[in-house]
Structure 1
Amino acid sequence: MSMDVDTRRMNGDLLPEKVLEQILKANLCIDVDLFNDVSDDAFAKFEESSAAYVAVCRSWSRVAIPWLYETAIVRSTSQARVLANTLEKNPELGCYMKKLRVEGGYGQYMLTILKRTPNISHLSLSMDIWDPDTTEGLCSGLSLINPSCLALRDTGVCKGNEVVKKLVGALDVALVEWKNLTVFVSPYIDNAGCAGDVIASMSVFRRLQTVVVRNKRGAQWAYSNFIPCPLKSVRVMAPPTGKEDMGNDRLQALLTYDMAPDAPVIETIIPRKSRRFVPMAGQTEQLQDYIWSRILYFALEVEERRDGLYRNNYQKTGPSAYGYRQRVDPLLVSTRFLRLGIPHFYDTLLVPSRDDILEQYFPSYLYVEHLTARQIGTVSRFSMPQIAIPDTMISSLARSSGRTLVDLGLNLGHHNTINALELEQLPQLRVLRLRGHVRAGPVGEFRPHMLPRLEKLCVNGATNSFAQAVARMSLPCLSSLTFVFPATSPIKPGISGAEAAQSLLADVLKIHGDKLTQLTVNSFDIVSGATIDDCPKLEKIYLLLGPGMRPPRLGLLAPPRKNHLQLINIVLLPDLPPDYPLPVWFGSADSSSRRRPRALISPCPAAEWSDFLTQLDAATRTLLALQQVTFAWLAWPTTERDIAAEPWLPEHKILEALKVKLVDKNGKCWRARLI
């Protein structure tokens, strides 16, 4: 009996079909506004296909198929071919289809699709069609359907293209028979782009009742072109920007807007009428100090400023600005607020540029060392990555805030050095980030007990002396190491920069490699086998490719003397960013950017990257835990045309066979959905 129940549970039979239908409907149905989106990447998602729901079990397949085939998004010739073949073999599936979005021409396959989908009510077409794509099938099949809604996408880049002209002509002819067409989703603002004849025909046939536009200007253009039509609404896909005066009473009456979500209502706190009211009167001074200190902790945005230290969110405008005046006002309320707020005020100091020094922290134009030498004894995080520090800066910080500093980022420039005495005064330091010409004082003065709590050490511009100093310290808590040597200048006399860097890196890793879980180095600083063998706990390695953008030599990284069981991710970076603080390197992950992503292969020949992908075969034989390789400076191309322009992409088949994922800067795995 229990076996039957387990079998039914595995098959999904215990879930009532009504409930299952609602679950699958919510996951498979595509919102009409998203379907009509005129952008080119609305459906450019490198995610698992929704068809996976059908493969769960028979009951899921039975319930999911109608919702799966209700909407079809065709973004490439291969997708059109697969859909056409599926509808040919299973004609009943075409009856489910009500919405069809076509982002190209896709040849004769579109004729087969339109023949098998008589119930299309929403049709979305693109006017951006590039050679050698063709529209013969699409043009021939338009007369076979009778949609109620037509959406166009037209950026104007293919205006004058012959295949686009043929599509416009076929649309113009089909409009004669499209008597159900009452809704038009327009991409146009002030002209009809490629579809001038189509717009004129829709106006002549007088069937449109609803026009959907992008903004106010688009509404005015649409109304002027469709005056003869019995319009009931002109919908603007944006919230109103205030009192909208369209200059036309009829248009004003027809307008509807997509309203922005209501802002949360904050209840107004009415102050007491008595002016003698004292908060927490009668409570102990200790309790009052504790409560007011916590209030000031949030009022002075301590957590936000700590987060901004890594994310570079310090802006001069906006609600998250961390300006001097904005944060000093609470300290002026009372002597209690001043006493309790000073530690929070100086908790985190970021000095990104010289202008910010003067504007945010030093209104009386004091130098940094003067400020740190005064009353700041509570700084826990200090970052000054862009400006070379004054000569006495490190010693001033160590004296005034050495017992509280947990995160320190400095630009040493070309003349400053790190001395053992200064590091010895930083017993709580957990993160140390240095850039410039990073030199150490007398190496013999560095002792194993220094920096006992250091977890992350990030050095961009290490020298021979500093590498030797790091090797002399035990650093028992160290788990993340960034050690980047100068790419050109020699580090040791008489030895090339590359050879010296390899030797110094090997020395550092022999001492600290067994503790590391994350490592960042120049790809050309890797010594064959030693890097991995000395880091048995390493889970992620960042390899800086340098100006030539040449792939790393996996032959040096991969063949250790024994199998590596921990390394999961190899991240390839073009170089450390100019704003440097670490560990955030990846830049913006904004998927809404319309800019063409930077090509992977430039300026390095594509053949070298093909060889790199081939080398992964040998690498995975010893890197047993390797799951992905991340290209941290590019986003995957999202259209069939852009993919064709990347000659190295067909090599993804090697990775799929090895089960190694290829990941872009947005964390998206490459999927061969469009090829």
Structure 2
Amino acid sequence: MAPHLPDEIISEILSPFLHVADELFSDTSNISPFSNNARSSSKSLLVCKQWFRVATPLLYKVVILRSTAQAIALAATLKAVPELGRFIKKLRVEGGYGACMNTILKSSPNIRDLCLSFAIWSTDNTSGLCKGLPLINPRRLVIVDNLDVRNNKHLDALEETVFACLLSWNNLRILGFPYGLSVFGHTHWMLRASNLSETLVDSQLHTIVLNGDFCRREPEIPRFILSLCNIPALGTLQFKRPFPQRHYHRLLAHIDLTPRLKLLAQYTIDSEETKTMSPDSTPSHFIPMQSASEETQEIVWKRVIFFAMSMGTASAPPVPWERSPPSLGILTVSKYFHRLALPYLYECIRLTPENCPKITRLLQDRPDLGSFIRRVFTCHSGRHLKADSINAILSLCRHAHNLEVFAPHPFEGYFTNGSLPVEGLALLAANAGHSLQHLSVHLDSEPPSQVPISGSVLESFIALRVLAWRSSITMTGGHGLHPDSFQSLHTLSIHSEGTIISRLLTDVRLPCLRALDLQLYITGATDKSGLVGFLRVHGHKVLRLSIFPNLSGPSGDFRILDLCPNLTEVALLGPCYFGALINSAPHNSLTKISARQIPDQRDMAEMAFNPAMFPALRDIHVDCLAWPTTERDISKSHVVPMAEALLRHNIKITNGEGRSWTPRLKIQRAAPGGRRSRA
């Protein structure tokens, strides 16, 4: 049996795990830094009796209270084991939490650091705080306030008690002052700031930490801050947030206007200057890689230039003449660098209506540059292309023989449609069909063409892995596409005006198809029969599916999950409605459902579904979801009860940051004749 480690060593091991950083404890942000803390530090006490004995003082050293249930649980614990209260050195209270706060404060005589919140709503109860605060004598007090909270009787009672304690606490030396320039325009905040500063004039404070913001377009020092200089014992007035360099001189001028403030003020400057290294002026005759072969030198310099031109991180960099001067300067170093850098310069083209004429002239003068182009991203809005855009796209389709990507630019907030002239499809097939891997287009014709396109054109794209198709133009192919077409196609996206492609690909084998993106609504029997026929043939191959929530037919005979039995992930292109996921039998493969947002509370019935029909489901991911961070917001949230109900089925709801909901401590209602219990 291994010998036990000494308590001192166990304490050193557990201290980092149980430690709460002081910058978090004293944080005065509107959103508490502890609102996202899903880790339970008390689990370390369950390892063994020795760990329980050693970790208990460390656990109670810093106590953070964020809900009434936590406060009631702590009060009951301190009432049962009073000696635990002597371990509490720091206490942060983020609400009122009722009469139990009196028990906590009365049982904690060694509190040195106290953080109190003035974000007290009318539904809170501060009676316990008002009774208990005079019983302690902290060394530091940090006050947190919220702009949204207006004065009410509970907040007024707490303020009155705190103001009285500021004068009676003879150990108090440090105060965290929460107000800054943000009080202007908010009468209730200005009143609280003025009342606090006037009360402090008679205190024995030595240090005041100004947690507010003093940097705006017109930075200044508010009058209620200046009145703090009248505190006789005050030695330091510390501005916690650094002064931006652009406001430094103006803020310093305000400070210099008051000699007492100039004597007390402590501040730092957040420099925005970037440090540059001066080159070594000592002449050097060293030639890099002089002894290496020409082949090795070229490989190394190509790699250096690749990263120097920012090609290694940007998926869609700007067009060549929009690059930063340092990137373009590499081409002027020498003819050798120019030759190596030229392919990287034209590897990716970002096509906009403004630069289309330049692209056309460039390829007319230098058609050889087309061989360097690998990716073309279009940034055209509107339904139809203009003449300059058509000419530029056709020039690219004609000269870019090694093109790998033709798609809309992935530019968030910019509407692009990937328009391609009808004749451009044939040019792409003829010139880049052997290399094109990603084709995302909306076939454009103005006026709309009545001439059908031969479906056999698509057979030329032998390397295609991603196809996003949007076109209402009729396609013909006689006997249809060859069954062995699109051998490498992995992802297929069908838009509202592209359902014809599903009928065209029904008889193609598509051995690598794994992802299907259906950005369409079923508008007629023809579209429906074509899509259903496609899914009956290829649905069993699809692992990832994207659909609109109302894609399923109203009659219920069109069930996506029944046609795609091996799906592992479904993305709903809109709110998290499960109407499109009706299935006749349990789906044993689906592990993740994604959506853009949670429905409003009035539409929650549309989100209801039976977890028993999804035995493998573990994650419902919602991009636009912000978890509530305060007890008040949690009680008003309609998502939290649903998340906690799904957790009982081992299903998590996660937001865009990948965070799932962690259930909070709750107070269960007492049964008739019974006692209230904690859960």
Change in Cα spacing, 1:208 to 1:625, as seen in structure 2 (3 Å) is same
Equivalent residue number for residue 368 of structure 1: 392
Q: For 1:136 and 1:348, how far apart are their aligned partners in 2? A: 66
Q: For 1:75 and 1:272, how far apart are their aligned partners in 2? A: 62
Alignment check: 8 A CA contact 1:324 1:361 kept: no
Q: For 1:429 and 1:470, how far apart are their aligned partners in 2? A: 14
Structure 1 residues 570-585: aligned runs within 5 Å: 570-574=593-597
1:273 is the counterpart of 2:283: yes
1:508 is the counterpart of 2:531: no
Q: For 2:288 and 2:546, how far apart are their aligned partners in 1? A: 52
| CA shift for structure 1 position 137 | 1.4
Equivalent residue number for residue 471 of structure 1: 506
Q: For 1:410 and 1:325, how far apart are their aligned partners in 2? A: 33
1:524 is the counterpart of 2:550: yes
Which AA in structure 2 matches 1:522? F
SS in 1 for 2:314: helix
Alignment check: 8 A CA contact 1:305 1:348 kept: no
Gap runs ≥5 in structure 2: 184-189, 364-387, 410-415, 667-679
Which AA in structure 1 matches 2:194? G
Alignment match of 1:236 (pick from 228, 232, 239) = 239
Structure 1 residues 427-506: aligned runs within 5 Å: 427-434=462-469, 436-437=470-471, 441-442=475-476, 444-461=479-496, 463-486=498-521, 490-492=523-525, 500-501=527-528, 503-506=529-532
Q: For 1:450 and 1:337, how far apart are their aligned partners in 2? A: 42
CA displacement 1:215-260 (0-9 Å, x = unmatched): 4469944751221333333333333433552325654554444687
Change in Cα spacing, 1:515 to 1:338, as seen in structure 2 (3 Å) is farther
Equivalent residue number for residue 26 of structure 2: 36
Equivalent residue number for residue 224 of structure 1: 226
Equivalent residue number for residue 577 of structure 1: none
Q: For 2:602 and 2:287, how far apart are their aligned partners in 1? A: 70
Q: For 1:332 and 1:635, how far apart are their aligned partners in 2? A: 50
Gap runs ≥5 in structure 1: 6-12, 494-499, 575-599
Alignment check: 8 A CA contact 1:460 1:485 kept: yes
Equivalent residue number for residue 394 of structure 1: 425
| CA shift for structure 1 position 461 | 2.6
SS in 2 for 1:471: coil
Alignment check: 8 A CA contact 1:154 1:187 kept: yes
Q: For 1:97 and 1:360, how far apart are their aligned partners in 2? A: 70
Report the TM-score, using the length of structure 1 for normalisation. 0.79
SS in 2 for 1:331: helix
| CA shift for structure 1 position 395 | 3.7
1:167 is the counterpart of 2:158: yes
Q: For 1:342 and 1:661, how far apart are their aligned partners in 2? A: 50
Alignment match of 1:207 (pick from 181, 192, 205) = 205
| CA shift for structure 1 position 45 | 0.7
Residues paired across the two proteins, number: 605
| CA shift for structure 1 position 554 | 7.6
Equivalent residue number for residue 348 of structure 1: 348
Q: For 2:151 and 2:559, how far apart are their aligned partners in 1? A: 60
| CA shift for structure 1 position 333 | 3.9
Alignment check: 8 A CA contact 2:112 2:138 kept: yes
Alignment check: 8 A CA contact 2:550 2:580 kept: no
Q: For 2:141 and 2:360, how far apart are their aligned partners in 1? A: 58
Alignment check: 8 A CA contact 2:85 2:107 kept: yes
1:157 is the counterpart of 2:153: no
| CA shift for structure 1 position 302 | 2.0
Equivalent residue number for residue 113 of structure 1: 104
Change in Cα spacing, 1:184 to 1:397, as seen in structure 2 (3 Å) is farther
Superposed CA RMSD in Å reads 3.7
Change in Cα spacing, 1:525 to 1:174, as seen in structure 2 (3 Å) is same
1:381 is the counterpart of 2:405: yes
SS in 2 for 1:304: coil
| CA shift for structure 1 position 188 | 0.8
Alignment check: 8 A CA contact 2:418 2:440 kept: no
Which AA in structure 2 matches 1:544? L
Equivalent residue number for residue 297 of structure 1: 306
Q: For 1:359 and 1:252, how far apart are their aligned partners in 2? A: 59
Q: For 2:513 and 2:270, how far apart are their aligned partners in 1? A: 48
Which AA in structure 2 matches 1:572? A
SS in 2 for 1:524: coil
Alignment check: 8 A CA contact 1:182 1:209 kept: yes
Question: Which protein is bigger by CA-based radius of gyration?
Answer: 2
Which AA in structure 1 matches 2:533? D
Q: For 2:360 and 2:325, how far apart are their aligned partners in 1? A: 9
Alignment check: 8 A CA contact 1:433 1:459 kept: yes
Change in Cα spacing, 1:207 to 1:20, as seen in structure 2 (3 Å) is same
Which AA in structure 1 matches 2:341? G
Equivalent residue number for residue 615 of structure 2: 624
Equivalent residue number for residue 192 of structure 2: 194
| CA shift for structure 1 position 641 | 1.9
Q: For 1:651 and 1:274, how far apart are their aligned partners in 2? A: 70
Larger RCO: Structure 1 or Structure 2 (Cα < 8 Å, ≥ 6 residues apart)? 1
Which AA in structure 1 matches 2:495? N
Give the fraction of aligned pairs with identical amino acids, expressed as a percent: 28
Q: For 1:267 and 1:491, how far apart are their aligned partners in 2? A: 67
